[in-house]
A and B are shown apart, each in its own frame.
Chain A
Amino acid sequence: MTSKTLTTSVYDWVDERLGLSELAAFARHKTVPVHAQSFWYYWGGISLFLFLLQCFTGVLLLVYYRPGAEAYESVRQITFVMHFGWLIRSAHAWAANLFILAILVHMFSVYFMKAYRKPREFGWLSGMALLGIASIFGFSGYLLPMDELSYFATKVGLEIPAAIPWIGPAIANMLRGGPEVGEFTVQRFFALHVVVLPALFLPLLAFHLWLVQRYGNAAPPSEEAKPVAERKSIPFMPNFIRKDLAMWLISLNVLALLASVFPWSLGHQADSLVPAPAGIHPEWYFMSPFEMLKLLGNVLPGTSGEIAGLLLFTLGIALWVFIPFYDIKKPTGQRARAAHYFGLIAVFALLATTVIGYWTIR
C-alpha cells in the first residue's frame, strides 16, 4: 500500500466515525469580511494565542515553583539555577503583559466597530468577564515570586477591596489569609492563579469562541451600510486562518525577543520591615486606576475619596459593560454618536492618567 492510500484509508476510517468531512465542509463555507478595519480582527486570535502561551509557560514554571514559605527561594532557583529558567519566567511575565495589551486592543476595536450590538451582546459580556479574570490572573500572579515589588503591590492592591464600607476589611483579610501579606497569602493566591481562575476562564473562553463561531465577525456600521454586493469577504479556511497563524508567529517572535533581550527581573526577598523602595509603581495596566484614585484623593482626602473613587469606578465599569443595552441599532439607520464619544473619552482618560502616572513617579 502506498503512503497516500494509507493516509486516505486512515482518514476515511476516522471520518466515518467523527464526521471530519462535515466539519471541513462547514469550515469551507465560513467567511470573514474584508474592509479597511480588517486588521483589528486578528487581535482576538492574538489574545487567544498569548493565553495558550501563558498556559504552556505556566505549566513549565509549575515544575519548580513552590508556593508558601519557600516561594521566593524557588523563584530564585528557577531564575538563577535551572537552565533557561530565567527565559521561561521572562516569557511567562512578558506574555502576561502582551496578553492584557492584546485583550485591550481587541476590546476597543470591538467597541468602536460596535460589534457588541444585537445579536452579539453575550460576546461582549463574556469578553468583559474574561478581561476581569485576566486582570485577577495578573494581580495574583504578581505576588507569586514574593519579592519586594510583589509584596507592596499586593499590600496596596488589597487596600482597594478593604475600602468597601463595612464588609471591606473582612474581604481583604479573607483574600490575604490574615491581617498581613505573607506565606498564607502566596499559598491562596497560588491556588487562585493555577486552579480557580483557569477553571473559570476556560469554559468562559469556550463560550466566547463558540459565539464568535456562531455569529461570525461583525462588520463595522460603515460596512453594513453598503449594499451586500459591494461587501467583500475571504474564506475562513484556509485564507483567514493562514493570516491568523502568521500573526501568531509574529507574536511569538515579538515575545521571544522581549523575553530574551529584556529578562524579567527578580527583586530582593519581600520583608515587611524594609521600607518600600523609591519610585515603586503599579504595572502599566493598573496605572490608570491607581492614578485616578490618587487624583481623586487630592480633591477628596481620606476615606471619602476612596469611597467616591470606588463608586466612580463601579459606575464607569457598569456603563462600559452594559453598553450593548443602551447603544442599540436605530431603526432609522441613524448613527448613534454618544457611545462613540464615550469610548473616545474612556480611551483618553485611560491614556492620560497612565501618562500622568508615569510622569509623576519619583
Chain B
Amino acid sequence: MSDHVVLIEDSRIAAPEDDGERLSRRFFLGAAGAAGILYTAALAYPIYRYLASPEEMALSATAVTEVTLKDAQKLPLGSVLMFKFGTAPTMLIHHEDGRWVAMTAVCTHLGCTVQYEPQADRIHCACHGGVYNAYTGANVSGPPPKPLKLFKVAVNDTGVEVSRA
C-alpha cells in the first residue's frame, strides 16, 4: 500500500492552488482507483500462476522433439504401441506389410483417443465414428475435420525413434 500513500501526496503537490478542489479530488479518486487495481493485481498474480503451474509444466513437456521407444523394433506385425509424445497420446503402428507409421492418437473432431483396427487396417474413433487412413492419417469418413499428424520414424537394433516431422 506504500504507493497508495505516495500517490495521495503527489496529488497534493500537483494540484494547483487556485482551481484546486475538484481537480485534486478527481486526481485522488483516480489514484485510489489505480492503487486498488494494482493491489488486486498483486493478489491475483500469484494465484493465477499457482493455478497455471501444471499448464506450464505441460508446456515444457510438449517442447519434446524426439522420443526413443526402447525395444519397440520387436513390435509384431499388425499391432500398435500407444505412448506419450510429451503429454500427447501417440501411436506407433507396425503394419502387416512391414511399414512403420507414427501419428497422434487424438481425434481431430473432439479429442477422444482413437484406436488402430488391424483387421480393417484403419483408425477408428469410437466417440463419434470418425475414420482415418492408417498409413497417411487422412480423415476418411465421419466428423473429423482434419487428418492426424504424422511423425518421422527411424527403426534401429535397440529401439524406435519417433520425432516431429
Binding site for B on A (CB under 8 A): 60, 63, 81-85, 87-88, 249, 253, 256
Name the one of B1, B43, B50, B56 contacting A85, with C-beta atoms under 8 angstroms: B50
Complex contacts, A82 vs chain B, CB 8 Å: 50, 53
Nearest 5 pairs between A and B by C-beta?
Answer: A84-B46, A83-B49, A82-B53, A84-B50, A83-B53
A313 nearest CB across to chain B (Å): 40
Q: Assess whether B52 is interfacial by the CB under 8 Å rule.
A: yes
Q: A81 contacts B53, CB within 8 Å?
A: yes
| 12 CB < 8 A contacts A-B | A60-B50, A63-B50, A63-B51, A82-B50, A82-B53, A83-B49, A84-B46, A84-B50, A87-B46, A87-B50, A88-B46, A249-B1
Residues of B within 8 A of A83 (CB): 46, 49-50, 52-53, 56
Q: Which residue of A lies closest to B53 (CB)?
A: A82
Give the shortest distance, in Å, between A116 (CB) and chain B (any CB): 36
Q: Give residues of chain B (35-68) contacting chain A, Cβ–Cβ below 8 Å.
A: 43, 46-47, 49-53, 56
Interface centre among A82, A87, A253, A256 (most CB of B within 10 A): A82
A88 CA to B110 CA, complexed, in Å: 35
**Which residues of chain B come closer than 8 Å to A253, judged between CB atoms?**
1
Could you say which residues of chain B place their CB within 8 Å of the CB of A88? 46-47, 50
Chain A residues within an 8 Å CB radius of B56: 83
Q: How many A-B residue pairs have CB under 8 A?
A: 28
Expressed in whole angstroms, the Cα–Cα distance for A196 and B49 within the complex equals: 30
Nearest chain A CB to B1 CB, angstrom units: 6
Q: Once the chains bind, are A60 and B1 in contact (CB under 8 Å)?
A: no
Binding site for A on B (CB under 8 A): 1, 43, 46-47, 49-53, 56
For A87, what are the chain B residues with a Cβ–Cβ distance below 8 Å?
46, 50
A82 to B50, CA, bound (A): 6
Which A residues are CB-close (under 8 A) to B43?
256
- A120 vs B43: C-alpha distance in the bound complex, in angstroms? 38
Q: Do A60 and B53 have beta carbons less than 8 Å apart?
A: no
For residue B129, give the distance in angstroms from its CB to the closest CB of chain A.
36
**Residue of A60, A81, A249, A256 touching B47 (CB-CB under 8 A):** A60
Chain A: which residue is nearest B56 at the CB level?
A: A83
- The winner among B1, B50, B52 for most chain A CB atoms within 10 A is B50
CA distance A147 to B56 in the complex (A): 28
A256 to B53, CA, bound (A): 21
- Contact present for B1 and A84 (CB under 8 Å): no
Assembled-state Cα–Cα distance A249/B35 (Å): 13
Give min CB distance, B55 to chain A, whole Å: 10
Shortest Cβ gap from A222 to chain B (Å) = 36
In the assembled complex, the CB of A100 is this many whole angstroms from the nearest CB of chain B, namely 23
Contacts of A84 in B (CB 8 A): 46-47, 49-50
Interchain nearest-CB distance for B86 vs A (Å): 18
Interchain CA distance A88-B43 in the complex, whole Å: 11
Q: Determine the residue in chain B with the shortest Cβ distance to A87.
A: B46
B49 contacts across to A, CB distance below 8 A: 83-84
A85 to B53, CA, bound (A): 9
Chain A residues, Cβ within 8 Å of B51: 60, 63
Task: Kindly provide the distance from the CB of B109 to the nearest chain A CB, expressed in whole angstroms.
Answer: 30
CA distance A60 to B56 in the complex (A): 17
Measured in the bound complex, the distance between the Cα atoms of B48 and A84 in whole Å is 9
Cα-based distance from A60 to B53 in the complex (angstroms): 12
CB distance from B152 to the nearest CB of A (A): 33
In the complex, what's the smallest C-beta–C-beta distance from B59 to chain A, in angstroms?
A: 13
For A63, what are the chain B residues with a Cβ–Cβ distance below 8 Å?
A: 50-51
- A-side contacts of B1, CB under 8 Å: 249, 253
Q: How far is the CA of A60 from the CA of B51 in the complex (A)?
A: 8
- A256-B51 Cα distance, complex, nearest whole Å: 19
> For residue B49, which residue of chain A has the nearest CB?
A83
Min CB distance, B52 to chain A, in Å?
7
| Chain B: minimal CB distance from A184 (Å) | 28
CA distance A249 to B43 in the complex (A): 12
B39 to chain A, nearest CB (A): 9
CA distance A39 to B53 in the complex (A): 42
What CA separation (Å) do A354 and B47 show in the bound complex?
A: 36
Q: Tell me the complex Cα distance, A312–B10, Å.
A: 61
Shortest distance in angstroms between A242's beta carbon and chain B's nearest beta carbon? 14
With both chains docked as a complex, state the minimum distance between the C-beta of A123 and any C-beta of chain B, in angstroms: 33
CA gap between A187 and B12 in the complex, in Å: 58
Taken together as a complex, chains A and B put the C-alpha atoms of A84 and B1 apart, in Å, by 21
Q: Nearest Cβ distance between residue B62 and chain A, in whole angstroms?
A: 18
Please give the distance in Å from A259's CB to the nearest CB on chain B: 10
